[in-house]
A and B are shown apart, each in its own frame.
Chain A
Amino acid sequence: MSGKNYRKGGTVMTERKLPKLHFWSSFFVLLMITLAVVLFKRYTQGIGAISNLNDSMPWGLWIGFDLLCGVALGAGGFTVTAVVYIFHLEDYKPMARPAVLTAFLGYLMVIAALLVDLGRPWNIWHPLVFWNPHSVMFEVGWCVMLYTTVLFLEFLPLVFERLGYNKQVHFMHKYLTPGLVIAGVLLSTMHQSSLGTLYVIVPEKLYPLWYSPILPILFFVSAITLGLAMTNVESFLSFRAFGKRLEAPLLRKIGAATAVMLMVYLVIRIEDLLVHGSLKYAFKFDMASWFFLAEIVIGGIVPMVLLFMKRIRRNPLALTGTQILVVLGIMFNRMNVAVTAFQLGTGSDYRPLWMEFVVSMGMIAIGVFLFSLAARYLPVFPEGPLTDAKPKDPFVELGKLR
């Protein structure tokens, strides 16, 4: 049970998937070359040269997808670590490391995307010294910075373990992990909700179906929902790529928990619209109304009902498919807030330029690439397929013992 087996496992996997890898790696290389050209343009000619952003649409695809969706997708990190370390549901321990790694890389990619989106990225550290506590962006900046550090420290034991620094790993697990996990949950509570608060100051600019003074609560609850759903999706993806996934009964429980969280979220969301008298816009059957109905019905109510059905939860494929729908539904919500609702509210005109997509796709590709590197060289997954792992014999114990 040491690093050697890992490398062996890794090689076997690579050989089996060679033709597929070939396709993906050429795609990856092409994407990276395009990204490099686009970035060169960006840093020599300005953001206007590679995007359709303009004075009436200062935030677009990057803020909607890379920042809002990116941070929300990273919610798996704090959700799973809280479940495992704070609520002591140790059965889920096998998912803790992949979730922390995904979140860590996800946040790194969010910061990388910000270095493209910020007009003066070399000043990105300024919130450290120039304070404005009245600014939501100031708070988001601090939280993202601190939480990325927390994720780094949570990720460090993987590297130490690989290097054989077992004493340090033991020390970190015993003394640092609980504090780090709690700090992570607190920081996540703050910035996941604050991404919604960002929009609380533009009541007249956001279409009423998406504006709400309780956007922070909506963003936080949906982030937890997304975090749960992502655990299943990640488990599925890692099964496809590395042959490791959670046991089916655990996935079923996550499915049930997602259903409950989704229900809570939908009740708050709809009740809030009712209270503000905005629900009528949902049935105008114009573009806004279709976007809203798609988000709430296809990305919310349908998967919620499905997840409540035992039949769906018992079928791993149907379950994962439904969880993917949950993920897409909440991502669609973020895009709607950032782009659709702002455009409808201000009448500004914006279609992302293809180069904006290159930046966003490039960030995902780099993230996936780094993940697969880490999965190959670091003890991210326990030995052997997770499906065979005994729930009471979690791999994290490895670090504690040796």
Chain B
Amino acid sequence: MSTYALLFDQSLCIGCGACEQACQSEHDQRPHKPDKLDHDSFTWVEDLGHDQYARHLCMSCENPTCVSVCPVGALEKNSLGPVTWDAKKCIGCRYCMMACPFEIPKYEWHEPNPRIRKCDMCVHRVTKGMPTACASICPTGATNFGTREAMLKEAHRRLKKYPERYTGEVYGEKEAGGTGVLMLLTKSPSESDLPDNVPQHDMPHLTWNVLEKLPQIIPVWGAFLGGMYWLGNRKNEVAAHEREELQERGHGDD
């Protein structure tokens, strides 16, 4: 089965902020108007001026960078699509924050027992078969929820139907190997304050290409080192032996 995904249509968003409020109450956060993503704000509707808005949230990547870099597997890709964080495992190394190509995970900098905070695609709702809080509340249909397959199909349908409205690409179809949040943009990613330099392939293979070579390199390198040790050792032993023999012969001559 395809994972679930969100489809955000920039042309329909009126910047009402209902999704922000729904997200905050869903995650027991104090109600506030965010001005960026932070430990307290999992989604942010950014006013781009001229009645244009951008939504920011975890992209729920298909093959998430954050999941691959976490040393203890605290971040996990749920089979339904959400990417979740486990408080019981996290060591607070912040490699997920470093590595995420969308700069999504945020940190509780002023807590003695800090958490990694980010949108979890309302995993508690999605596992119960409900759409995310933001998609349920959106009054205009700017944020939609469904299987990734269906969302992608719908995105391309709209692209075809109103080619003049959008930039021509579905943001998130190929970014970082494909994400669980798809965006139909009326402004370019950089104008929408979204990263526009995200590689069009998944990221985890970059480091895996290196790591997977270790099982080949290390035994060879180890055998070489062991061999060098043995060679030198043997040379020393032979030398010691010869010295002994010489000495013995010396005694015999006496």
Contact = CB atoms under 8 A, between A and B. Distances in A.
B110 A45 contact: yes
B233 interface: yes
A132 B214 contact: no
Interface stretch (A146-154, A181-189, A285-293): A181-189
Among A58, A200, A202, chain B packs the most CB atoms within 10 A around the CB of A58
A55 B72 CA distance: 21
Contacts of B235: 88
Given A118-B91, A134-B208, A200-B206, A44 B233 contact: no
Given A46-B114, A131-B73, A204-B197, A197 B94 contact: no
Contacts, number: 163
A3 interface: no
B232 A88 contact: yes
A88 B60 CA distance: 54
A9 to B, nearest CB: 31
Given A49-B110, A86-B228, A136-B207, A126 B97 contact: no
A137 interface: yes
Interface string A102-135: 0000000000000000111101101100111111
A201 interface: yes
Given A120-B92, A127-B71, A134-B211, A46 B108 contact: yes
Contacts of B1: none
Nearest to A135: B71
Nearest to A142: B71
Nearest to B219: A186
A216 interface: yes
A357 interface: no
Interface stretch (B50-58, B99-107, B155-163, B180-188): B99-107
A76 to B, nearest CB: 18
A126 to B, nearest CB: 4
A58 B71 contact: no
A132 B73 contact: yes
Contacts of B90: 119-120, 123
A140 B93 CA distance: 12
A190 B218 CA distance: 8
B143 interface: no
B100 to A, nearest CB: 9
A176 interface: no
A85 B229 contact: yes
A54 interface: yes
A138 interface: yes
Contacts of A136: 69, 207, 210-211
A59 B98 contact: yes
A205 B206 CA distance: 14
A197 to B, nearest CB: 5
Given A46-B111, A135-B95, A189 B70 contact: no
A120 B108 CA distance: 11
A178 interface: yes
B221 A189 contact: yes
Contacts of A53: 109
A46 B93 CA distance: 14
A197 B225 CA distance: 23
Interface in A162-215: 178, 181-182, 185-186, 189-190, 197-198, 200-205, 213
B49 interface: no
Contacts of A133: 211
B21 interface: no
Given A118-B91, A123-B92, A200-B210, A58 B98 contact: yes
B99 A201 contact: yes
A213 to B, nearest CB: 7
A344 interface: no
A375 interface: no
Interface string A3-14: 000000000000
A47 interface: yes
A282 to B, nearest CB: 21
Given A46-B108, A134-B204, A119 B71 contact: no
A182 B225 contact: yes
Contacts of A140: 71
Nearest to B208: A134
Nearest to A132: B73
Contacts of B70: 132, 135, 137
Contacts of A201: 65, 68-69, 99, 203-204, 206-207
B89 interface: yes
Given A58-B98, A134-B204, A200-B207, A120 B71 contact: no
Given A46-B110, A197-B211, A58 B229 contact: no
A241 to B, nearest CB: 33
Interface in A313-355: 342, 346
Contacts of A141: 71
A136 B212 CA distance: 11
Contacts of B106: 55
Nearest to B38: A55
A44 B112 contact: yes
B198 interface: yes
14 contacts: A46-B114, A47-B114, A88-B232, A118-B93, A119-B90, A119-B91, A132-B68, A135-B68, A137-B71, A137-B93, A138-B71, A139-B211, A186-B225, A201-B68
Going nearest first, the 3 A-B pairs with the smallest beta carbon separation are A119-B92, A48-B109, A88-B232
Given A119-B114, A137-B70, A198-B95, 19 more contacts: A48-B110, A55-B107, A86-B229, A121-B92, A123-B90, A126-B72, A126-B89, A135-B68, A135-B73, A136-B211, A137-B69, A141-B71, A182-B225, A186-B218, A186-B221, A200-B207, A201-B99, A202-B101, A204-B199
